[in-house]
Amino acid sequence: MNPADPGRPAATPGEDPGSARLATETVHSPDTRPGAPGTTAGRRPATRVGLQPPSLRQQLLTWLVIPLALLLVAGTLFSYWVALRSATITYDRALLDPALALAEHVDSENGNTVFDLPKVAQDVLRIDSYDRIYFSISRLDGELLAGQPEMPPPPPVVPIGHRMFYYGVVNAETVRIAALYVPQAEGAVVIQVAETMVKRDRLTREILIGETIPDLMVATMAMVLVWFGILRSLAPLERLRGEIAQRSARDLRPLDGSYAPAEVRPLVGTLNELLGDLRDAIDAQQRFTANAAHQLRTPLAGLQTQVELALRQPAPEPMLRSLHQLRGATVRAAHLANQLLALSRAEPGGHRPDALRATDLRTVAQDAASTWVPRALPKDLDLGFELEPAPTVGDTRLLRDLLDNLIENAIRYTPIGGTITVRTAVEGDESVISVEDDGPGIPADQRERVFQRFYRVPGAIGDGSGLGLAIVQEIANVHRARVEIEDGPGGIGTRVRVRFARKARG
């Protein structure tokens, strides 16, 4: 029993003290630690976001909605102008009628121009429900013959057709004036009839409202239809984007382009060709790595055997030292070859999907105990297992490789007399396996980088290869699990957790 832990149960006689305990969280050697606590290792590094080009949806809206809005505005203004011009012509004709009626009462007598309309009839001409009516009869030189003196003087030039319409001001009010030129023996007489703009302004508002509201409704409905049309048209692209976004960097299956528009299918085909080429290249690299590692194992095992036999023979001290160094180098090379084989099994294409079956992490840890407890004895490490049922769906062989690498890292970097604990448990909807130690720990700023292949924390002790946590991450990716690294209990050492779904994801 670990003397520093009075609460730990004592080992049974004949049992190694290190086999009495279990740890739930993984500890990683300085060269194999994953990301910061609570973070998922292996995340893609954040990219700098600069000025992004507009999306296809924005471009379509820009090129469809804005011209449509401009056309609708232009159509509204044109309709308003046509309607207002028609109304103006109609009102002008109505305004000309009193001038024609007044012209019938203008005559010449004895060389003088006379106006013989009674005042009562003049008052009748000026009756209107909305506007004030003014009239005047004058010569071209401005001499007033009849009517209101406040009327503005008429234009001196006689227009073609002897009639014209224009705007003027009477009593500080804008008026519309109809001028009728009547030729007389003594010279032309100008009859002006003016009315204020009440009816015309009212008609202008009615026309504006009548033209604008329907056009606004049409514009709104058109923009809504354009918006939904764009969304519906871009839905296949969004589906394709979602399919790509949900994939991991190792999922190189061909994309399904059957639902894509005809314009996008060539792009999908090109992407599938690229994915196929990339998949073939990765497969070739994996086969090379696996074959090379496999071919190295046999000669390295033979070399190690020969070195062991040579060490048992009498030999001079310098030769024994050389043989010991040769044995150490051979063991490290054999270990690297085994790790390369484990890495090739964990990579895409190195395992079969049908190998994922219902299993229990506790069973995997129990099987590992008999292998690793004896290896912890030379360093007097207290290796304990605290196991609870932790069901999941996985490849038992890969899960064993994952746990072996975590325990090996902990043994490699935990100082003599240290403590290592392996645990399995269920937390919510997840089954968790963890390894913790009281070794030197992994700095927080290195916890993302330790998942890189052959990366070792600067200043790390030991002769690790830097592949342990890379293998752990690859196996976690296969099972869609999450790897977390944090400080050990009391801020000492390292704890590594691997969280699996209790049921298969996806």
How high is the pLDDT of residue 426? Answer: 92
Secondary structure (3-state) at 50: coil
**d(Cα 322, Cα 300) in Å, to the nearest integer?**
17
How high is the pLDDT of residue 250? Answer: 66
Each residue's pLDDT tens digit, 333-374? 776 777 777 776 666 655 566 668 899 999 999 988 888 888
- Is 240:255 a contact under the CB 8 Å cutoff? yes
> What's the pLDDT band for 289 if we cut at 50, 70, 90?
low
Each residue's pLDDT tens digit, 464-495? 677 888 888 888 888 889 999 988 888 888 99
Single-letter amino acid code for the residue at 209: I
Single-letter amino acid code for the residue at 171: N
Which residues, at least 6 apart from 450, have a Cβ–Cβ distance to it below 8 Å? 28, 30, 31, 32, 33, 34, 442, 457, 469, 485
How high is the pLDDT of residue 14? Answer: 39
Calculate mean pLDDT across residues 185-203.
85
Higher-scoring residue by pLDDT: 116, 502: 502
Q: Which of 139-153, 313-327, 426-440, 460-474 has the lowest mean pLDDT?
A: 460-474
Each residue's pLDDT tens digit, 21-40? 433 333 333 343 333 334 44
Secondary structure (3-state) at 227: helix
> What's the pLDDT band for 194 if we cut at 50, 70, 90?
very high
Assess whether pLDDT exceeds 70 at residue 505: no
Each residue's pLDDT tens digit, 40-74? 444 444 444 456 677 777 888 788 888 888 888 88
How high is the pLDDT of residue 249? Answer: 65
Three-state SS annotation for 159-195: CCCCEEEEEEEECCEEEEEEEEEECCCCCCEEEEEEE
Assess whether pLDDT exceeds 80 at residue 454: no
- Is 147:162 a contact under the CB 8 Å cutoff? no
Calculate mean pLDDT across residues 141-163.
79
What b/e sequence results for 143-152 when a residue is b if at least 16 CB atoms lie within 10 Å of its CB, and e otherwise?
Answer: eebbbeeebb
How high is the pLDDT of residue 350? Answer: 57
Contacts 24+ apart (CB under 8 A), 300-309: 300/330, 300/333, 300/334, 300/337, 301/334, 303/330, 304/330, 304/331, 304/334
How high is the pLDDT of residue 431? Answer: 93
Number of H helices, E strands in the chain: 8, 14
As to burial, measured by CB atoms within 10 angstroms (0-12 exposed, 13-18 middle, 19+ buried), residue 464 is buried
**d(Cα 398, Cα 406) in Å, to the nearest integer?**
13
How high is the pLDDT of residue 23? Answer: 37
- Domain map (residue ranges) of the chain: 17-44+355-501, 62-204, 265-343
Domain 265-343, CATH 1.10.1760 — does that match? no
499: left (phi over 0), alpha (psi -120 to 50) or beta: beta
How high is the pLDDT of residue 286? Answer: 64
**d(Cα 456, Cα 162) in Å, to the nearest integer?**
104
- Is 53:503 a contact under the CB 8 Å cutoff? no
**Phi, psi (deg, nearest 5) at residue 358:** -60, 130
> What's the pLDDT band for 207 if we cut at 50, 70, 90?
confident
- Is 472:447 a contact under the CB 8 Å cutoff? no
Each residue's pLDDT tens digit, 80-97? 888 888 888 888 888 888
Residue the block writes with tokens 């040769």:
326
- Is 419:437 a contact under the CB 8 Å cutoff? yes
How high is the pLDDT of residue 13? Answer: 37
Most confident of the following: 273-277, 341-345, 431-435: 431-435
Superfamily name with CATH number, domain 17-44+355-501: Histidine kinase-like ATPase, C-terminal domain (3.30.565.10)
- Is 155:164 a contact under the CB 8 Å cutoff? yes
Nearest CA-CA partner of 440 in 423, 465, 457, 463: 457
**d(Cα 58, Cα 39) in Å, to the nearest integer?**
35
**d(Cα 432, Cα 95) in Å, to the nearest integer?**
94
How high is the pLDDT of residue 361? Answer: 93
How high is the pLDDT of residue 353? Answer: 60
Secondary structure (3-state) at 480: coil
CATH number of the domain located at residue range(s) 62-204 in this protein = 3.30.450
Calculate mean pLDDT across residues 314-323.
82
What are 374's two structure tokens? 């004896």
**d(Cα 374, Cα 247) in Å, to the nearest integer?**
42
Calculate mean pLDDT across residues 139-145.
79
Each residue's pLDDT tens digit, 210-263? 878 888 888 888 888 888 888 888 888 888 888 888 876 667 788 887 777 787
Calculate mean pLDDT across residues 185-195.
84
In the predicted model, what is the mean pLDDT of the chain? 78
